[in-house]
Amino acid sequence: MDTSVESLGECKIKNPLRQVDWVEDNDRILFNLSAGLVEECVKKGQAPISFLKAGPKRKIYFDISKLKCAIVTCGGLCPGLNNVIRSIVLTLYHTYGVTNILGIRYGFQGFIPKYGHPIMELTPNRVREINELGGTILSSSRGHQGISEVVDALERMNIGLLFAIGGDGTFRAAAKICEEIASTGAKIGVIGIPKTIDNDILFLSRSFGFSTAVSCASDVIGCAHVEANGAPNGIGLVKLMGRQSGFIAANASLDRRYANFVLIPESDFDLDGPHGFLAVLEKRIQEKKHAVIVVAEGAGQRYCGVEGFDNSGNKVLGDIGLYLKDRITEYFGENGIEISLKYIDPSYTIRSVRATSEDSVFCGFLGQNAVHVGLAGMTNIMVGTWNEEFVCVPLGLVTTGRKQVDLKGKLWSSVLEATGQPSFKHQVMDGARES
């Protein structure tokens, strides 16, 4: 696994910062903290895999008096976007003295002349209170844009450093932008800041917005629990975000532990049959008279999946929430059991809220470290956390797959213990726990 970091060139300019803990060129964070694995590498004469630590360097690459920076936000909305923008601007302006900072409107569309999106000048006054708002003041968009057009715009605007805030699709585009920049010989740095509410980016301990999403989702699950207990044979069905990874559903279900069933993309399940989900749900209703179901949007796609891909290259998903709502209603109707089912889909509400204090602080550190490594001439990397440290991860590594819930790991084991749910695949187990 190649974790080496690309550089625009030798850093020759003294960093203007004072009284800081410098990050040296050999400061690295181990990929795996297992002592046994490290010992094995030493015995073999191999260096253990590690990531370059992010932070302020003694020397920087860019001449601050001439540097122009740009910030772009891409993909779906996520709590904390404005916080990251604010942190980047304030760090550039107050910490380093960079005053020429541009906001690119509506994602990568903002670089393309035919769309006619105006550029936003970003100053400390402009971003002073945006952390109180959800969404992004720059707005966003999805979809493929011509890479050469984006690079042409960067050169035409004399941008030296681009901060791209986005997820997997954004990073794939950013990596291609770096390739195009290299082919032209231009000296433009590209730094990715990971934005995925699903927390599904590889080589990343956590992404901003995830903590906020889990907190909001937990409140919704609590409301579903109240609704389920408010009527005979009450069922609360909550659909949460999670296209390929069930981290939000799993973590939110472990907060107040009201969920009796948690369905995620990583764990396949049968709907029908004596040990399928519907039969187990019926047993739960007969015994406890209520149930709370949490389903991630990417779960059960073999039942409701549709063909095709969206503008960002993501597979189009069927609506598993509505599908389950209809199937549950049909199943209990056929079996002569009257139920009261309440379906809740809070996805867009959660995506649009302001960040919690925990996420806000985290966003601040992300923005600061992105600026530090960007000014040091690093490029084609993502700045994120690994083993509780901020590190630099090559975009080529980040885009090789998606992080998913380990079905043999502690998180999913805890969910199974909390709910008592079976696998819903041809095995007999007791129904979900009482709550």
Between residues 216 and 143, which one has the greater pLDDT? Answer: 216
Cα(319)–Cα(86) distance, rounded to whole angstroms?
A: 35
pLDDT band at 37 (very low <50, low <70, confident <90, very high): low
Q: What is the pLDDT of residue 36?
A: 63
Task: Give the whole-number percent of the chain exceeding pLDDT 90.
Answer: 86
Cα(253)–Cα(200) distance, rounded to whole angstroms?
A: 18
pLDDT band at 43 (very low <50, low <70, confident <90, very high): low
Cα(249)–Cα(321) distance, rounded to whole angstroms?
A: 13
Cα(301)–Cα(111) distance, rounded to whole angstroms?
A: 36
The residue to which tokens 């030493």 are assigned: 42
What does the pLDDT average to over 230-255? 97
The tokens for 205 are 């301990």
Lowest mean pLDDT, pick from 220-229, 270-279, 421-430: 421-430
143: left (phi > 0), else alpha (psi -120 to 50), else beta? left
Per-residue pLDDT tens digits for 339-381:
999 999 999 999 999 999 999 999 999 999 999 999 999 999 9
Q: What is the pLDDT of residue 430?
A: 44
Q: What is the pLDDT of residue 428?
A: 40
Q: What is the pLDDT of residue 48?
A: 84
What is the C-alpha R_g of the chain?
24
What does the pLDDT average to over 224-237? 97
> Annotated active-site positions, please?
198
Q: What is the pLDDT of residue 369?
A: 98
Task: Give the whole-number percent of the chain exceeding pLDDT 70.
Answer: 93
- Show the beta-strand stretches assigned E in 56-109: 59-60, 68-73, 100-104
Q: What is the pLDDT of residue 315?
A: 78
Q: What is the pLDDT of residue 145?
A: 87
Q: What is the pLDDT of residue 307?
A: 74
Cα(304)–Cα(292) distance, rounded to whole angstroms?
A: 21
CATH number of 211-352+407-419: 3.40.50.460
Contact in structure between 369 and 363 (CB atoms under 8 Å): no
Between residues 119 and 44, which one has the greater pLDDT? Answer: 119
CATH number of 6-207+355-398: 3.40.50.450
What does the pLDDT average to over 98-119? 96
Q: Where in the chain is the domain with CATH 3.40.50.460?
A: 211-352+407-419
Strand partners, 390: 385
Q: Does the pLDDT at position 23 exceed 80? A: yes
Q: Does the pLDDT at position 434 exceed 80? A: no
Q: Does the pLDDT at position 39 exceed 80? A: no
Nearest to 5 by CA among 394, 396, 397: 394
**In angstroms, how far is CA 142 from the centroid of its own chain?**
15
What does the pLDDT average to over 293-322? 86
Q: Does the pLDDT at position 433 exceed 90? A: no
Per-residue pLDDT tens digits for 55-81:
999 999 999 999 999 999 999 999 999
Q: How many CB atoms lie within 10 A of CB 336?
A: 6
Contact in structure between 243 and 265 (CB atoms under 8 Å): yes
Q: Does the pLDDT at position 45 exceed 70? A: no
pLDDT band at 435 (very low <50, low <70, confident <90, very high): low
What does the pLDDT average to over 310-324? 84
Q: What is the dihedral of CA 90, 95, 97, 102, to 10 degrees?
A: -30
Per-residue pLDDT tens digits for 184-199:
999 999 999 999 999 9
pLDDT band at 429 (very low <50, low <70, confident <90, very high): very low
Length of the chain: 435
Q: What is the pLDDT of residue 19?
A: 85
Report the side by side order of strands in the sheet with 290-296.
Answer: 261-263, 290-296, 234-240, 340-344
The residue to which tokens 């399940």 are assigned: 269
Q: Does the pLDDT at position 431 exceed 50? A: no
Nearest to 347 by CA among 220, 187, 188: 220
Looking at residue 238, its amino acid is V
Per-residue pLDDT tens digits for 374-401:
999 999 999 999 999 999 999 999 999 9
Q: Does the pLDDT at position 210 exceed 90? A: yes
Q: Does the pLDDT at position 426 exceed 90? A: no
Question: How does the average pLDDT of the chain come out, rounded?
Answer: 93
Q: Where in the chain is the domain with CATH 3.40.50.450?
A: 6-207+355-398
pLDDT band at 277 (very low <50, low <70, confident <90, very high): very high
